[in-house]
């Protein structure tokens, strides 16, 4: 996608998909945008609603974006190998913190479940 600022055209990359919400199971829509080498995630719960910023993308979301970029690269669809390499390095740095955060969240959810007699 090309974004226009004044007289300047700047390339951005948008990747969209939908999947069941991890907690409710309802369908939600996710978009990852790369603009000026910064990734931002957005979600919406209905197809025609406004995108809302999503501040805590999961490891699965990052991996989905990486997979989509690799597919776009093979189709020569605006993605270069340096883009993929940059995202792989970013994921490598994020992985330990994200996995620890997700494990902590899962354990908190398990503690909140009522215990069966």
Per-residue pLDDT tens digits for 10-50: 677 899 999 998 888 899 999 999 988 889 999 999 988 99
- Residue at 59 is within a domain: yes
User: Percent of the chain at pLDDT above 90?
Assistant: 42
- Residue at 40 is within a domain: yes
User: Percent of the chain at pLDDT above 70?
Assistant: 84
- Supply the mean pLDDT for the chain: 84
- Residue at 21 is within a domain: yes
Q: Residue 17 belongs to what domain range?
A: 2-112
- Residue at 104 is within a domain: yes
* Helix-helix angle 81-112:59-74, to 10 degrees: 160
pTM for the model: 0.75
- Residue at 50 is within a domain: yes
Q: How many structural domains comprise the chain?
A: 1
- Residue at 14 is within a domain: yes
- Residue at 73 is within a domain: yes
How many degrees, rounded to 5, is the angle at CA 64 between CA 59 and CA 68? 150
- Residue at 117 is within a domain: no
What pLDDT is stored for residue 73 in this prediction? 87
């Amino acid at each position: 996608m090309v974004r226009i600022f004044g007289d300047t055209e700047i390339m951005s990359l948008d990747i969209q998909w939908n999947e069941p919400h991890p907690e409710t199971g309802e369908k939600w829509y996710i978009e990852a945008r790369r603009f000026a080498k910064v990734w931002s995630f957005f979600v919406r719960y209905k197809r025609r609603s406004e995108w809302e910023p999503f501040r805590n993308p999961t490891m699965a979301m990052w991996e989905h974006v990486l997979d989509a970029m690799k597919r776009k690269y093979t189709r020569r669809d605006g993605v270069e190998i340096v883009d993929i390499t940059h995202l792989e390095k970013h994921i490598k740095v994020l992985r330990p913190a994200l996995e620890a955060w997700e494990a902590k969240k899962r354990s908190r959810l398990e503690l909140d479940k009522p215990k069966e007699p």
